[in-house]
Amino acid sequence: MLFNSGAEAVENAVKVARLATGRDAVVAFDHAYHGRTNLTMALTAKAMPYKTNFGPFAPEVYRMPMSYPFREENPSISGAEAAKRAITMIEKQIGGEQVAAIIIEPIQGEGGFIVPAEASCRRWPRGPRTRASSSSPTRSSPASAAPANGSP
């Protein structure tokens, strides 16, 4: 599939994940920027200048904390521990069996300026067997939605 923007790539990744899994919940992370369409604004964490006065937004979007070493409440938390924290929160707040997709920006923010702790993205469960920790949402990180210029 070809897309003309990162927002369109993310929108289609979510549609395909919801169709393939029959689930509705989509998980995004604090500090992430995904675009300026209704769904991608719902996935984007920052209200100003992206979301203020543009709602209501797409439902079934949940936000979790991502590793952010510079501003972390616990600065000694490792990337693996940050990933485990988010997975535990997904299980408790949503239920892994409800999750269609987990949208992760490996480097967050518009332009890619927040680098998570090492191993925070590698610790996420992969593939169609994944629940938040063991049953089955689709993990999405569309290459065309990469930071800054659309290049992977």
The whole-number average pLDDT for the span 38-62 is 87
The 99-103 sheet, strands edge to edge = 61-64, 25-29, 99-103, 138-140
Architecture per CATH, 6-144: 3-Layer(aba) Sandwich (3.40)
- Alpha-helix residue ranges (DSSP H) falling in 76-128: 79-93
Give the torsion through C-alpha atoms of 71, 11, 139, 117, to 10 deg: -20
Here the tokens at position 16 are: 């395909």
Give the span between the Cα atoms of 152 and 113, in whole angstroms.
Answer: 15
The pLDDT tens digits of the residues spanning 6-19 come to 889 999 999 999 99
* Least reliable range by pLDDT among 33-37, 50-54, 129-133: 129-133
Polymer length of the chain: 152
More confident residue, 32 or 98: 98
Each domain of the chain, given as residue ranges in start order, spans 6-144
CA atoms within 13 A on the CB side of 82: 24
Whether 101 shows a pLDDT value over 90: the answer reads yes
